[in-house]
Amino acid sequence: MRFVERELCPGCGAAGPSNAVTLLKTRFSDGAVGDFIRRFYNFDPSGLDGFYQADCCLRCGLIFQRHIGDAEMMRYIYSDLVTDDPPDKIPTFQADIRDWKGSRDGHELMALSSFLDKPKLKVLDYGTGWGLWPIIASKLGHDAYATELAQDRSAWVSTQGVAMISDDEISNHRFDVINLEQVLEHVPEPAKLLERLTRSLDGILKLSLPDAGRARNILASMKSGESRYEKIMPVQPLEHINSFSRRTLLDLASRLGLREAKPSFPDLYSFIPGGIPSAPRRIAKEFIRPFWTWRNPSNLYVWLVRND
* Cα distances (Å, whole numbers) of residue 4 to 52, 131, 178: 12, 30, 29
Q: pLDDT at position 122, please?
A: 98
- Phi and psi dihedrals of 178, rounded to 5? -120, 125
d(CA 100, CA 96): 5
Pair 219, 64: CB distance under 8 Å: no
Cβ neighbour number for residue 170 with a 10 Å cutoff: 18
Pairing of strands 163-164, 143-147: parallel
**What's the pTM value of the predicted model, to 2 decimals?**
0.94
Per-residue pLDDT in tens (0 to 9) along the chain, 308 residues = 789 999 999 999 998 778 999 999 999 999 999 999 999 999 999 988 889 999 999 999 999 999 999 999 988 888 888 878 899 999 999 999 999 998 999 999 999 999 999 999 999 999 999 999 999 999 999 999 999 988 889 999 999 999 999 999 999 999 999 999 999 999 999 999 999 999 999 999 999 999 999 999 999 999 999 999 999 999 999 999 999 999 999 999 999 999 999 999 999 999 887 666 556 677 777 889 888 999 999 999 999 999 98
Pair 171, 177: CB distance under 8 Å: no
Q: pLDDT at position 171, please?
A: 97
* Cα distances (Å, whole numbers) of residue 174 to 124, 154, 196, 272: 9, 21, 12, 29
Q: pLDDT at position 75, please?
A: 86
Q: pLDDT at position 287, please?
A: 82
